[in-house]
Structure 1
């Protein structure tokens, strides 16, 4: 006697289609994880790359490439922005951004000064004044921090005093707040042992890091196995009772 009943054609079709879809989704998630890993490797390698002139780098910017640049200009010292959701300090703190006007350029460059740890209280950390003299900055020209839905709308437009604080950094909102054009990326400054800021920059993949893609891949592969097992269980031959058994 066969161990399996003959299934209907539509049940075979649905099972095969389901398994193929789930496997395809799992493979796609693995490819996304590999892609994100490659981005992280490129970002890590960029920190030790030769310095390029800022004007040359911006004129030849390539997606998913993070040039290390040198730029000269002046800070807008009275226009600081505090990003209030950094994830690398348990005691609280802010990521500090300052507008910078590069020499001979008509746009402003938003500079990531680094992370300023908190003191365990609800008060904002004490900020040091920025230099008023011409500056030569070095750092990675990289995409801005990820943004999301901010309850209450544009927080910057609702604040009249500086520095201004927000839980997301939207370059469009910053540009409108400054009444100026901004470069589409920010400058993450190189580490400086004498600076009060912590400058351990990473590529912002917090919304979907490689590990999460792999977790989703495992989930989709599990669904494929479950569909196949259910097909076998539902079409297994029923055992007939033994009439000779007393």
Structure 2
């Protein structure tokens, strides 16, 4: 028993240390979004997508290391969670808004943390909240729909309302914290891409197995779904086989 103890304790400590360090990684995943009919002024524009920040403080050194500055920034939900100081939330929002115009969609943990205070911080820094609504981006009299649904985990999403305010004949990028919104989508909705987070790619995967949908690019009948692994962690500050990430999405003509 003592021999087994001497073996298991250091192995466990090494594993926990690795899981903690994996959860603190800063990774930026570049992806190209090929869009049919993308107006010329949007060709080459970039969207920095970061979700599931939770308890982390976003690294300024990491943000400053990006080779290309983002034209637009999206917080894809779970900016915070219950128990996180609002001073930290405020600092994270400040760091992002210093680097470009910011858009936000609600995640399930944002509602737990105190939505009124979260909204006040976002409004202080002039963040555009996409609450079952569409913001029409305009560049040189050309347009792109940036649509955002409220959290589908709590059934606060209203897809019909979200899409009703789109500009006709302009491409659409749909933002949804929870990728389960895919169950309500079809090709007739004319959505070019859906960008989500929420799952943390499982956060802790045992031998690669997880009950949550893994991060990545998924092709579906309605179009393409992209799921980010997220930047932070929830419950435990640990990850295994699910490295954190944020996305740099580059728009290109198809």
TM-score normalised by L of structure 1: 0.30
Q: Which has the larger radius of gyration?
A: 1
TM-score normalised by L of structure 2: 0.30
